[in-house]
Amino acid sequence: MKKRIVWIVLSIIMFIASICLILYYLWGNGYLWKAKTAPPPQTYEEFTYPSIDESEMAKLTSFTTRDPSAPTDPDAPTEPVKPIDIDCPVNFDELHNTNAEIIGWIYMSKPEISLPILRSHTDDTWYLYHDVVGNYKKGGSLFVEHDYNTHDFSDPVTVIYGHRMNSGAMFGTLQATLSEKDYFNENRYIVIFTPSVTKIYQIFATLPSDSDHILYYNDFNADGVFDEYFNALFTETGVDVHLIPEARPTQGDHVLVLSSCLWGDRHKRYLVFAKQVY
């Protein structure tokens, strides 16, 4: 009788533990919900998060890469990117007093993202779990890798990494927002402020991907690699794949990639590709 009671108790404990493990897995991989809105921006005493006023935003949204109906010549040389007259709201002198490794600032109006971008001089994994002032933080910071990208976003392809936080922080709302049915009815832009220039990128592709390191396996400075990679990308299909052919990049363009964990599978990636247009 006692053995039977013990087995019953152990069975109940094991059942509860199994349920807890399943729920933890579902929560950890984001199956329970998608974050739709980001939390209020965290601020530090040394600086505050900037925003762009309506007049400046109107300037941003008035630009397009080209008329989609206009004929294109794939063999035509790429026109140089034009400078853009946008007031930079970021005081990089103040930021560098806090952390000299801040190389830029990313701004998106939808989803609402306004965050510093960092680049460690010594450890590419540092900002995975450290905030901009160097404190340990589970959500880390947005960053590029110094082994693969320069500080000024001048490489053919620059990858910005950020966690997909269930709270909506960092890149937490990126996939949910860009997966909305009508998101691409209008041109969508990513703004990168740097100490010397403001860069505008137009999103041309969003898709799930495996965890292969884009810059490790592809030397985009090598002849033909850039076009080969993006030609292959535009053959991708699937319900979560969104491609904009008229904004497709060619050799000589500069591409920005936002990389975060895929909703539902943290071992895969959700990638947002954007081409510099200004």
pLDDT at 167: 79
Where does the pLDDT of residue 206 fall: very low under 50, low under 70, confident under 90, or very high at 90 and above? Answer: very high
pLDDT exceeds cutoff 80 at 60: no
**The CA-based dihedral angle spanning residues 19, 24, 27, 29, taken in that order and rounded to the nearest 10 degrees:** -120
**Percent above pLDDT 70 for the chain:** 69
Mean pLDDT of the chain: 80
The DSSP annotation for 22-33 comes to: HHHHHHHTT-S-
pLDDT single digits (tens) 19-57: 655 554 444 444 444 444 444 444 433 344 455 555 665
- String of b and e for 55-66 (b: at least 16 CB within 10 Å)? ebbeebeeeebe
Class of domain 54-70+77-276: mainly beta
Q: Provide mean pLDDT across the span 223-251.
A: 94
Q: What is the three-state SS of 121-135? A: CCCCCHHHCECCCCC
pLDDT at 103: 98
Angle at 190 between CA 144 and CA 131, to 5 degrees: 40
Between 81 and 222, whose confidence is greater?
222
Span 236-253, average pLDDT? 93
Q: Residue range 14-23: average pLDDT?
A: 60
Which residues fall within 8 angstroms of residue 20, CB to CB, at 6 or more apart? none
Domain residue spans of the chain = 1-32, 54-70+77-276
Q: What is the pLDDT of residue 230?
A: 97
Is residue 50 within 8 A of residue 90, CB to CB? The reply is: yes
Residue 14 has pLDDT above 90, yes or no: no
Residue 64 has pLDDT above 60, yes or no: no
The pLDDT tens digits for 129-178 are 999 999 999 899 999 999 999 999 999 999 999 998 887 888 988 998 99
